[in-house]
Each structure stands twice: as C-alpha cells, then as structure tokens.
Amino acid sequence: MFIGHWAPAFAAAAVSKNAPKLGTLFIAAQLVDWGFFLFAIIGVEKMRIEPGITAMNPLDLYHMPFTHSLVGTLAWAFAFLVLLLLLKRQFVTAGIAALVVASHWLIDLLVHRPDLTIAGGEARYGFGLWNYPAAAIALELGITLAAFLWYVAKTKGPVMPPWILLAFLLMIQSINWFGPQPIEASFMLYAMALISFGLAAWIASWVGTTRRHVDDRGLAGGGPRR
C-alpha cells in the first residue's frame, strides 16, 4: 500500500485536538518505509524486482526484518513515542503518533504477499490483495478518501490547502499504479520513494499550519496552531 498508509495520519488528526501536527503524522505513517529504503540503500534490508510476483507490482520484499516485522514496526513506534515525549512532553500526543507508526504493519498485512514476519523469522504473512487489483485499489482509495474527508470535517481553516494535498497524493498514487514499472532495485528507485514521502510530508506540514481541530479553542483571537 502507498497513500493508504496516510489514512491513519488523517484519522489521528481528525479524532483528537491533542494529535501531533499533520506533517508529523505523515512522517509517522510511513516511518518504517523511510527506514526500509534507507536500509536498502546501504544493503541492510533488501528487495528485488520479480515481474509477475503480484498482479499490481513486481516488488519481491524478501529481507526486511528490522522495519517490516511486527516486532520491528513496534520498535520504530516506541522510538517515535520516546522522541516525541522528549520533544513535546505530552504522552497523549506521543501515543497517538506511535499508534500511527504501528498501523503500517497492519495495513501492509492486507495487501502484501506473504513477506511480512513477526520477528524476522521464517514464517511469512500477508493476505495478498495486490493480486486482486480491483479490491486493492478500492481499499486504498476508500480508506484514504474517508480519512481525508473526516479530517476536513473535523478541522477548520482555508479550503484549498487540504485539497492540494489530496491532489498530490492521488497524482503519486496514479504514477505508482499506472506508470512504468521498475526494472531493477536501484538507488534511483529508493531515492524516488524517499523524495515522494518527503514531498507529501512537506505539503502535509503546510496544510497543518493552516488548520486546527474544531474542538481546539486556542488562544482568544489567535490563529490556527496546526
């Protein structure tokens, strides 16, 4: 899954005025993929291109114990919780972000072929929706749009910025689905993934500065804090 990972970020920002800023939540939602592609660059985790391995993409994600095992994902979530506690000193805020990080493994479980592990062992898990394009596309678009609309409904601010963010997400998802498939696992592939994550987080950070939760009264006469 790609932009569907940002659905929990939108949902977290919608559900509580104590949630971190939207840009922080966007980083949290894809944190383990940030880790995977950085580890792939230096050879710690590995993937290869195997055309036909799933109906939707040719990615053979055969070695990613530190990011895409359940234990690994929970470790990243805990590290992010500790980091935000040190920076913000607000447990609820840090806890929400940690849950968004942890959501990554559960969402991947739905679409990946069996390449996810519990703790890097031999047993592999994945329900394989990538082999059923209609179901995978409907799921990805459905959860993303539902969470986005919830976020817009539960926050207030200028109308245009969140829709610019959604347009960007739909653009990169369309490229991911319908653009040329990669022919090799290369530095360029890893870098492009990281750039797309960075651009999405940057736009989300901007959107967050223009909106605040409807339950957040803020300071009298003050502007949006998020």
DSSP 8-class letter at 78: H
Q: What percent of the chain has pLDDT over 90?
A: 94
- The band of 217, judged by pLDDT with boundaries at 50, 70 and 90, is confident
Neighbour count for residue 121 (Cβ, 10 Å): 10
Q: What percent of the chain has pLDDT over 70?
A: 96
- The band of 1, judged by pLDDT with boundaries at 50, 70 and 90, is confident
Q: What is the pLDDT of residue 112?
A: 97
pLDDT tens column, 152-179: 999 999 999 999 999 999 999 999 999 9
Query: From CA 169, how far away is CA 171, in angstroms rounded?
Result: 5
Neighbour count for residue 196 (Cβ, 10 Å): 20
Whether the pLDDT of residue 220 is over 80: the answer is no
